[in-house]
Amino acid sequence: GGILLGPSALGRSTAYLHAVFPQRSLTVLETLADVGLLYFLFLVGLELDPKALRRTGKKALIIAVAGIGLPLLLGIGTSYVLRATICKGVNGPPFLVFMAVALSITAFPVLARILAELKLLTTDVGRIAMSAAAVNDVAAWILLALAIALSSSGKSPLISLWVLLIGVGFIAFMVTAVRPVLVWMGNRCPEGEPVKEVYICATLTLVLAAGFITDMIGIHALFGAFIVGLIVPKEGPFAGVLVEKIEDLVSGLFLPLYFVASGLKTNVATISGGLSWALLALVIFTACFGKIFGTFAVALACKVPFRESLALGLLMNTKGLVELIVLNIGKDRK
């Protein structure tokens, strides 16, 4: 919808674009979309259980490393090609990391829903895929935080280091000081009884506060929201009630607004000429090949049957909104 309304189609008429989307309405649209993204990343963090990550088997961990390792290397190689052709003059290290993360990440929320729909969550393939995707997601967001720190600090490596250290301090504070409060809230929400609204409001306000703090640090507001989701206790009904309260609002209202805002900034017509189409094909091939082949080959080496190894490769290649978020962050930080 956003692409059709934007400069790729109807928005080629500047009179139409300015009449339908004046600057003041774009500001409101992007603000609502950004708030929705905060809560989407909070939901992503809620779906990841750190304790389950610690229980991840050796096989799933090896597959996760392969599933992110080969795409990272191919993404770095692709970024060099792009810098030498159409992205001359961009800041090198952040661009390399942004491209590598965008091509290597697995859309964990999308994968979870695919497995649930296919009734594969309780199978060996489903469990390995979920564990590997969870490890992949956490590693990718750490790398993304590194890329944002590098891109937001100018040319001084000391400032980048300072931003990263403050980010580590923020995580330590959230784990040691804030998580016990959330655990206390969770313990006061027994099964079968309604969760107090004040606990829900306090947690949702904490998401906004954490996003504001990480944005001030120089990482990104989304990182703070993701950390809050990670530290919410998964035992008991508390996390489930939080998901029930905001998931429909986020997926039904806020995320469509984000897609519209992204589409309005996208001009497909700029992809013209043989070089542009060849580079587009290279990026798509790299993103798919690295994920599928890396996961498939290592799964086979771990003595997973051929069909299940291929299924794991295809599942780990699940793409979704998370990649679009990474690319938009990179575009805004160029």
Q: Can you give the pLDDT at residue 177?
A: 93
Say whether pLDDT at 277 is over 90. no
* pLDDT tens profile 130-144: 888 878 877 877 777
Q: Say how far apart CA 88 and CA 73 lie, in whole Å.
A: 20
CA distances from 293 to 67, 78, 84, 296 (A): 8, 17, 26, 5
With contact defined as beta carbons under 8 Å apart, do 69 and 293 qualify? no
Q: Can you give the pLDDT at residue 12?
A: 66
DSSP H or E run through 22:
none
Tokens representing 270 are 């700029």
Q: Can you give the pLDDT at residue 120?
A: 81
Per-residue pLDDT band for 221 (boundaries 50, 70, 90) equals: confident
Alpha helices in 152-220 (DSSP H): 157-173, 179-187, 197-217
Mean pLDDT across 7-24: 70
DSSP for 280-314, written as a single string: HHHHHHHHHHHHHHHHHHHHHHTT--HHHHHHHHH
* pLDDT tens profile 40-96: 889 888 887 777 666 667 777 888 888 888 888 888 888 888 877 776 666 667 777
Find the farthest-apart pair of alpha carbons in the chain and give their distance in angstroms, rounded.
62
Count of beta carbons in the 10 Å neighbourhood of residue 121: 15
Fold of the CATH domain 34-332: Na+/H+ antiporter like fold (1.20.1530)
The overall average pLDDT reported for the chain is: 81
DSSP H or E run through 3:
helix 2-5
Per-residue pLDDT band for 156 (boundaries 50, 70, 90) equals: low
- Select the more confidently predicted residue: 305 or 97: 305
Say whether pLDDT at 220 is over 60. yes
Which region among 121-130, 135-144, 153-162, 306-315 has the lowest average model confidence (pLDDT)? 153-162
Residue 25: closest CA among 221, 261, 252 = 261
With contact defined as beta carbons under 8 Å apart, do 296 and 125 qualify? no
- Select the more confidently predicted residue: 245 or 54: 245
